[in-house]
Amino acid sequence: MNQSDKDIKGTTTVGLACKDGIVLATEKRATMGSLVANKGAEKLFKLDKKTGATIAGTVSHAQSLMDVLKAEISLYRLSNGKDMSIDALAVLCSNILKSGPFYVQTILGGIDKDGAKLYSLDPSGSYIKDECISTGSGSPYAYGVLEDRYNPEISVDEGKIIALKALSSAMERDVYSGNGYRLATITDDGMKIYSEDEISEVIKEF
């Protein structure tokens, strides 16, 4: 994730659709060119009770996008008396990106009445529904792990380990990724963002 650079060359994020929910994970490094500008960047966001997102790209654009999505989700609930579906949220996010420029890659994930869903969106506004996604400069290294270990029948508990393992692989080789992990799961019980101690316990299972 870059603080001022328009090129989306920093960051590694991962999203997995599992049989019982969604796993979202990121590392914590923000760069400004070759400078490590921040070692605790927030790239994982809770948008609603059962909806979350990861971001890669320019910090200010990413923060603005997340704020707009949160507001739109709340307004939709007030106007319609029900939660926005993940499909509708992906279309909304796509339309916002098209009105940009927003130099942001986003993974949207959540659970609605139809189950767990995961979308990848790029700065042009294209949106693709998928089951296993990685974004950012470290994604080629992360995909090496994900292609080997992921399948749609894994549980969220299994997905947590795979996602963090994929991030670890990226952090070993990508200079723009590092400084620790962020991890969240989304199930029928809601979205849970893990503490550093809880993440350490998952890492022990590698």
Other Cβ atoms within 10 Å of 77 Cβ, number:
13
Secondary structure (3-state) at 170: helix
Cβ 55 vs Cβ 66: under 8 Å = yes
Secondary structure (3-state) at 72: helix
- Joined together, the tokens standing for residue 18 give 């599992």
In angstroms, the CA 2 to CA 121 distance is: 18
Marked catalytic residue, from 11, 26, 51, 54: 11
- Joined together, the tokens standing for residue 3 give 């603080």
Residue 62: which of 15, 123, 111 has the closest Cα?
A: 123
Cβ 51 vs Cβ 88: under 8 Å = no
H/E stretch holding 86 reads helix 86-98
Q: Is 11 a catalytic residue?
A: yes
H/E stretch holding 76 reads helix 59-80
Residues labelled as active-site residues: 11
